[in-house]
Amino acid sequence: MEDIDYVIVIRHLLPENIWKLQKWLGVGQEKKLSKAVEVVDQIIEKFILMKREELSKGAKSKQQEDGFDLLTLCIVNNGERTTGLKFDNKFLRDTIFSFLFAGCDTVNSCLTWFIWLVFTYPGVEKNIREQLKTIIPMEEAEKWKLFTAEDLKNMIYLHAALCETMRLYPPVPFQHKRPQKHDILPSGHHVHPKMRVMFNLYAMGRMEFIWGKEASEFKPERWISECGTIKHEASYKFLTFGAGPRKCIGIETSFTQLKVMAAVIIHNYEIKMDGSCSLFILKGPLAFRGRSFSCKYILFSCIVVPAFARFATSFPSL
């Protein structure tokens, strides 16, 4: 997947006719991309066949025990009757590939920044811990615990903290679009099909005329309404997941993964930076930091177990 990510970025930097020529000739980075996609496709197809065989044998008891995964859900709920789409192996392969490609490094990057921000702002950590206590039975409060999506569905403050993380540090800091025809933007700028219109999500998240005077501050409260529910911002204002008909299809899946992982870490561990974290931010279109930072995990238990972990973002080496 790293090879695929890298070549996709290179495509945005090279002139279109250059990378298309490389693709046609099967050389350079395009050759690397083709091989990487072929390997990933083979792995996914293997799992699809295994899952179909498992379901054909009627392994219902195991499904009921473990719950349905995404692949099982797609196979069982064939959408041909409702959408006209036949969920054949190619459709399933492309769907799983989309989730892997779009939701792996982006989730990792968001969780990395979330951990750094939460433990930089002790008040936010305290609020999340307090809210977690409200969903944990008294007798389990001091025990190791794994959470489910159902457990965390009403964790408003945790959801808000994740939104605020992605506002300040979007997993994809900038994007661009190409107009299909000549048009005039509300700002008065003329655009045409040969022009790329780039928008900087990292900069937008810090613009005061969009987010107010405290735009550069980490404040999960900005996402909570007066009645205590999540405040839904316009997708063209909070562009992390895109907007319009091509908006990310995995929004709920991403939030579920992030909330479960964040809740497990915050409830079960006390995390302290070990002092060697080297964070640096460039005042430009992108925010960068060292590939990883070290932190000390202290398990909440009668026995203190130290461990060290390294969290890496999806940014390439600098």
Task: Give the count of alpha carbons within 13 A of 41, CB side only.
Answer: 10
CB atoms inside a 10 Å sphere around CB 192 = 11
Instruction: Say whether 277 counts as a known binding-site residue.
Output: no
C-alpha span between 203 and 206 (Å, rounded)? 5
| Per-residue b or e along 88-115, where b marks 16 or more CB atoms closer than 10 Å to that residue's CB | eeeebbebbbeeebbbebbbebbbbbbb
Q: What is the DSSP string of 125-168?
A: HHHHHHHHHTTS-GGGTTS-----TTTTTT-HHHHHHHHHHHHH
Burial group, residue 175, by CB count within 10 angstroms (0-12, 13-18, 19+) = middle
CA 156 to CA 146: how far, in whole Å? Answer: 18
Q: How far is CA 105 from CA 70, 268, 314, in A?
A: 18, 24, 5
Residue 188 and residue 263 in contact, taking contact as beta carbons nearer than 8 Å: no
How far is 76 from 78, CA to CA, in rounded Å? 6
Instruction: Give the residue ranges of the annotated binding site.
Output: 248
Instruction: Give the residue ranges of the annotated binding site for heme.
Output: 248
